[in-house]
Chain A
């Protein structure tokens, strides 16, 4: 993973400022601001964790919707009896178990086949849940207890801090190096002693756990959930879009992408519900075409260009 042109410490400071800024929102902000911030923070967790695995390993997962959905239903089943942290843990663990099972089967699929499978997984889990509701309990959806906007907000904030800590730890340790090795040459990685399956499954599972926890929190912000709102492909696509836009394999990229697109979605979903997906799709394609290394990459190129010009100027005086 690259640290982009900014100094590591400086990036930490930027992120710390963002987190502290969010921490003060409930003190001064409206309910609208609190809910918007909670949403943004959910996507910071999702995009950063998605990037932590899919970025270096090169396995583009579209399973996020399944993990968030399991988090939704963990809250749906348990919210009347248990406090929020228990719901989060339950959502996280359910997603982790699903990821280990699915990962063990599908992470030997390479490239696009893995992506297609994870895409189908969301629909599959949704179909199972729909079947369960129609055939077994004969009731569509579940009500979820609302713990108040502040509870959800602070839960998301805690998850942001945990997620970013996990991201930093992973990229600094041999776990991250193994994932990078797998992404750059899986054969080479396997032949120097990297247990590729174990690393891929664990990376995928950690990501899934984090997504399950924020899914559980998210559900408590809504009053009612059903399979359609829980196992939503938007949850799968948005982290990818955020990372591509912000800069894959960078620390700041997914955070920037999450802030931009969560805010955009939050505002557009009510105003132009039919066409905002088209806009997002267009942005995604334009990003891939014109800034393959994302906003962070653009910044870096501009910085290098300026530096080169400076060097040339200095050279001219000599």
Chain B
């Protein structure tokens, strides 16, 4: 199978704290890949390194055949890697539709305003935010702010979408909706890596899962393998 993302020996320290330690990760095209682990395991830090938000200490990242480690986030985005942040980062002074427009305008070179506007309609429909399109960001529920981030990323036309806990704070029926949306996104041809604590979602929609603990990858496999893994159970029981 073709690989979409190939991370080799990726590490990051903050002062003395080794947040991510020599992590190898390979994500195939068309997969939904889950990244789990207790709080502070280094999941978001791993995302931040892949997307270029923070520099990598060591290791390399190949995205769709191109080495992206060392690139700035805007270039990585234009190569087709989109992401959301654990604490949603939106343009608070703009209405919902304009947030998405920003993604459509800047995500790919040479987008005309008209093209971008039609992408806005399409994406808002796709994620189900059309009813809120004229609302300002602070006026929409927190859970939807994360979905807006996802919409903004989708508008950049990514090949790979990295989602950081977009189900946090959702009620069970909203979790169901989000699972459907993620599956639908994958079916439209976008590879997905998701960090998530909602086990039901992870176990149901992911093709493969990796587990981080204290910055290191301690397990990887299908949902069934992960659910049966002694190491993983110990880590989770040990934490709670």
Interface residues on chain B, number (Cβ under 8 Å): 29
- Does B129 have its Cβ within 8 Å of any Cβ on chain A? no
Interface string of A160-190 (1 = CB under 8 A from B): 0000000000000010011011001101111
With A174-B106, A177-B105, A181-B102 as contacts: A193 and B156 at CB distance below 8 Å: yes
Closest 6 CB pairs of A and B: A184-B91, A190-B73, A188-B89, A193-B77, A193-B106, A192-B103
- Does A95 have its Cβ within 8 Å of any Cβ on chain B? no
Near A by CB (< 8 A), chain B positions 216-238 give none
> Are A191 and B77 neighbours in the complex by a CB distance under 8 Å?
yes
In the bound complex, how far is the Cα of B72 from the Cα of A187, in angstroms?
Answer: 11
Which B residue sits closest to A191, measured CB to CB?
A: B73
Can you sample 12 A-B contacts with CB below 8 Å? A174-B105, A177-B102, A178-B106, A180-B91, A184-B91, A185-B89, A185-B91, A187-B89, A191-B77, A191-B89, A192-B106, A192-B156
In the bound complex, how far is the Cα of B91 from the Cα of A181, in angstroms?
Answer: 6
- Known contacts A174-B106, A190-B52, A193-B78; 13 further A-B pairs (Cβ under 8 A): A178-B106, A180-B94, A184-B91, A184-B92, A184-B93, A184-B94, A187-B73, A187-B89, A188-B149, A191-B77, A191-B153, A193-B77, A193-B156
> Taking the nearest CB of chain B, how far is it from the CB of A296, in angstroms?
16
> Taking the nearest CB of chain B, how far is it from the CB of A256, in angstroms?
22
Interface centre among B53, B74, B78 (most CB of A within 10 A): B74
Q: List residues of B whose CB falls within 8 A of some A CB.
A: 51-53, 72-75, 77-78, 82-83, 85, 89-94, 102-103, 105-108, 149, 152-153, 155-156
With A181-B102, A196-B74 as contacts: A191 and B91 at CB distance below 8 Å: no
In the bound complex, how far is the Cα of B106 from the Cα of A281, in angstroms?
Answer: 40
Interface centre among B75, B83, B102, B156 (most CB of A within 10 A): B102
In the bound complex, how far is the Cα of B151 from the Cα of A188, in angstroms?
Answer: 12
In the bound complex, how far is the Cα of B82 from the Cα of A180, in angstroms?
Answer: 20
> Taking the nearest CB of chain A, how far is it from the CB of B110, in angstroms?
12
> Taking the nearest CB of chain A, how far is it from the CB of B150, in angstroms?
12
Which A residue sits closest to B93, measured CB to CB?
A: A184
> Taking the nearest CB of chain A, how far is it from the CB of B158, in angstroms?
10
In the bound complex, how far is the Cα of B104 from the Cα of A194, in angstroms?
Answer: 11
> Taking the nearest CB of chain A, how far is it from the CB of B36, in angstroms?
23
> Are A187 and B85 neighbours in the complex by a CB distance under 8 Å?
yes
In the bound complex, how far is the Cα of B217 from the Cα of A244, in angstroms?
Answer: 51
Q: Which residues of A contact B107 (CB under 8 A)?
A: 192-193
Q: Which residues of A contact B105 (CB under 8 A)?
A: 174, 177
> Are A188 and B91 neighbours in the complex by a CB distance under 8 Å?
yes
Q: Which residues of A contact B106 (CB under 8 A)?
A: 174, 178, 181, 189, 192-194
> Taking the nearest CB of chain B, how far is it from the CB of A32, in angstroms?
43
- Does A267 have its Cβ within 8 Å of any Cβ on chain B? no
- Does A228 have its Cβ within 8 Å of any Cβ on chain B? no
> Are B74 and A193 neighbours in the complex by a CB distance under 8 Å?
yes
